[in-house]
Chains A and B, each alone.
Chain A
Amino acid sequence: MAENKSDTASGLKPTELRRSIVEMAYAGSSVHIGCAFSMVEVVSSLLGQVMNLGSGADDRSRDRILLSKGHGVMALYAAYSALGWLEKAHLEKYFSDGSLLHGLAEARVPLMEVSAGSLGHGLPVAVGYALGKRRLGEAGHVYCIVGDGEMNEGSMWEAVLFAGHHGLENLTIIVDANAHQAMGRIADVMNMEPFAAKFAAFGFETHDVDGHDLELLTKTFRQPSTSGRPRAVIARTVKGKGLSFMEDNNEWHYRRLTPELLEAARKELQGKSNHA
């Protein structure tokens, strides 16, 4: 596993990850592109700048990322590939017969940590894992990315309740708050606001930030916590962020790229700087 080059300019580049996601999604004719695009900066910040990636997969003290909103998994595949943890060939063979990577997070994939295709699973596992690490006195922070729609699930709030009560200070929950769930806007289907106030009421230290501002995200994650409480970072994001025809358009939970749209996507992403 690579050293984390957190203080150099060579961290993960959001635009490159989006390019990688587009190519992978086209290769596999995959849906869920918008879901992956909204969390690209969160993933870039965590894996590219914030997390201690340790000396290798077996290093128990390294920080971990557990993806609870499993349908955003292409963002992690792209990041893992960029970090050299996942051979690029796996992305090129996306969804082909006998291939490794599914359209939802699976713990059987190296470093994927948790199976999270079904919503409401990843966070309880992350909470148990953080508890276990604390009991062992083991270093390493647990970052769990959840969806705002996923927070409809009762099991998520069970886990939040537990983490708050037990003061799991080695846990950070990041809500990819892209304002959409599968069938519509969060505000219309099942209002979850005020998110931060809900987490605060459950005993969390909360931060409500722009989820596409890489610097701000990194600054927020790096802020030393003195509260002795778990943290919730509400990352305000745009579903499909990065491509004009996808942004805030919930169709891109389901749509697949045509050859024409692939070209349009390549062109638009080509024009963007790597830090955009």
Chain B
Amino acid sequence: MRERLSDILVNACQSDSRRIVLSGDHGYALFDALRKKSPSSFLNVGVMEQAMVGMAAGLAKAGFRPIVYGLSAFVPMRVLEQIKMDLCHVSYPVILLGDGAGLVYSTLGASHQCGEDIAALRPLPGIKVFTPADADELEAVFEEALNTNGPCYIRIGKSDRPPVKQEKLKSTAPRVLRTTAPERPILVTMGSMTAFGAELSKAEADGGFDLGHLAVLRVKPVHAEVVEALKSAHEIWVLEEHHRSGGLASSVSEAISEAGYAVPRLRVWSLKDQFVHSCGSYQHALSEHDLSDEQVRLAFARAIREKRN
């Protein structure tokens, strides 16, 4: 996904001189191609996230369409008020890229981990929030964000699993990755959990239990298709690398109830209300939240056994 991200940034800047990529001294190799092919389109503003977002607003005011890169622990978390007042309040077309979302930086500790960015941004008026899982989703998300006349946030998390399936997506509408009978649960994932969710649902299907799977690329505003796909589900399972409050499970269940439907029974595997305590691998960090691959596999197996009994 990172190679594709680099290509997308290069293309966006080469095809539109109003594009300029700002980074607060983060991203190192990600910008190599951009700096080589379109050097004037990249600006390392220095370690100053607050002023970076303000300056992006000023550049937008001058007619540019800036892309602001940071780690999600800082963009948006450190600059939430700048996003609210400098971007949302004036609906400037600025794209915020929050990289390393979730527990990617397991060895660096709590300062660089971020499981609250979606919850923080969702109440800000007018901002769109995207959660691409792989290169194809990233492409679709950028296609929409680059053509949006208002602020957008793109959450980029862990993406080192093989892509779910390679396909050119027409929009950021949810992807139905697996359909199932109405009495079976539908698994809903976003970003880093989508490829793993696909692995799980395939394994369960191979074992004779059909679990539906819906991948969400845009959590704000929630597409009507998400509601359509889930409103009559018997049960919804949400797997997300975000805290329970305000993330994917919140977005989806609120959208269903706002559309006037009863929310189906909901089971959520998400980050717990706690920081990661000890240092270790990505899987280790996830395990403190009962979200490691192994733990989730076991939890799903248990839940499926209950369904079968």
Contacts and interface: CB of A to CB of B under 8 A. Distances in A.
B293 to A, nearest CB: 41
Nearest to B84: A118
Contact of B46 (A120, A130, A136, A161): A161
Nearest to A123: B54
Contacts of A128: 54-62
Nearest to A155: B50
A120 B50 CA distance: 9
Contact of B90 (A115, A126, A129): A115
B81 interface: yes
A158 B48 contact: yes
A107 B82 contact: no
What is the interface of chain A mostly: helix, strand, loop, or mixed? helix
A132 B51 contact: no
Chain B interface: which size bin? 20 to 34
A138 B59 CA distance: 13
Nearest to A128: B58
A162 B58 CA distance: 13
Contacts of A154: 50
Given A107-B90, A108-B90, A115-B89, A132 B63 contact: yes
A118 B88 CA distance: 14
Interface in B1-51: 20, 40, 45-46, 48, 50-51
B150 to A, nearest CB: 14
B86 interface: yes
Contacts of A135: 20, 40, 62, 64
B266 interface: no
B85 interface: yes
B82 to A, nearest CB: 7
A1 B48 CA distance: 37
What is the interface of chain B mostly: helix, strand, loop, or mixed? helix
A131 interface: yes
B50 A126 contact: no
A186 interface: no
Contacts of A159: 48, 51, 54-55
A136 B60 CA distance: 12
Contact of B59 (A114, A121, A129): A129
Contact of B55 (A117, A120, A127, A138): A127
Contacts of B48: 155, 158-159, 161-162
Contacts of B53: 124
13 contacts: A114-B61, A115-B90, A121-B85, A125-B61, A127-B58, A128-B59, A131-B62, A132-B63, A133-B62, A135-B64, A158-B48, A159-B51, A165-B46
Interface of A: 106-108, 113-115, 117-118, 120-121, 123-133, 135-136, 138, 154-155, 158-159, 161-162, 165
Cβ-closest 4 pairs across A and B: A128-B58, A124-B54, A132-B62, A128-B55
